Amino acid sequence: MTHYLSLYGLFLRQRFKILMEYRMNFLIGATSTIILQGASLLTITVVMSQIPHLNGWTLEAIFLIYGLITLAKSINHMFADNLWTIGGQYIRTGMFDRFLVRPVDPLFHLLADRFCHDGIGNFLVGSALVAYAWHALAIPLTVFNLIYLIVMVISGGLIFIALNLITAVSAFWVIESVPVTRAIFDNHLFAQYPLTIYPQAIGILLTWVIPYGFASFYPASYLLGQEVGLLAFLSPIVAIVLLSLSYRFWRFGLRHYAGTGS
């Protein structure tokens, strides 16, 4: 583990050296997501200005949910964005083969090969939303709550990564895996809002099938003092289970990889 952490640090330093060669591109990439998120937040604010609450949820409470899932998504965006490109950029071109002849785990090499700085914008937006909502909703600033917040955000990020990995493995068979990944990934948009505003079937889907609810709704509900039982603490377990399953599926796909002849 120590070896891989130090190795990742070397990859990260090299990546930032490349990014700093084109500083304007780095700035545009890091701020573009802030602009996109700003447009979405403006829409929510305008809608909520016309109604006092959404099925009992105020604007500030929705900002907390939105901020939590944005933070989780930023982890995936920064550290695992290469999963989106595995088919088109690596397998189709034959570049994936170089991961198989180097003395490191191919999945580690794929993830370390590119840090996506666009995710920094999502991290900043998510942090600002959570900080604002925390203050506006008078959530107690205790050591336990802060530790809980950090654990839930990291767990949420790992849930994003695991789900993207499971779908990205389809590239070993269909090459272009983006449509498959997007079919699952885009469901996180529902989890930007309280699950209680949807039909029960969607709540079940986002809890037990595509569990993005553990990256936003359940942690937010706990911080707001709402009764959600053990669901408020299951995010780390869900993340570990999904990561284990996704890595097993990755190994299965890797065994069936035959290259494209590029």
pLDDT for the residue 262: 52
- Hey, which residues does 54 pair with through a beta bridge? 57
Query: For residue range 116-154, what is the model confidence (pLDDT) as tens digits?
Result: 888 999 999 999 999 999 999 999 999 999 999 999 999
Using the 8-state DSSP alphabet, how is residue 102 labeled? S
Contact in structure between 127 and 121 (CB atoms under 8 Å): no
Pairwise pLDDT comparison (109 vs 13), residue with the higher score: 109
**Average pLDDT score, the chain:** 92
Using the 8-state DSSP alphabet, how is residue 191 labeled? G
Q: How confident is the model at residue 50 (pLDDT cuts 50, 70, 90)?
A: confident
Pairwise pLDDT comparison (156 vs 39), residue with the higher score: 156
Contact in structure between 83 and 168 (CB atoms under 8 Å): yes
Q: Indicate the range of 34-43, 154-163, 227-236 predicted with least confidence.
A: 34-43
Mean pLDDT over 200-218 rounds to 97
Q: Please determine, for residue 261, whether its predicted confidence score (pLDDT) is greater than 80.
A: no
Contact in structure between 240 and 161 (CB atoms under 8 Å): no
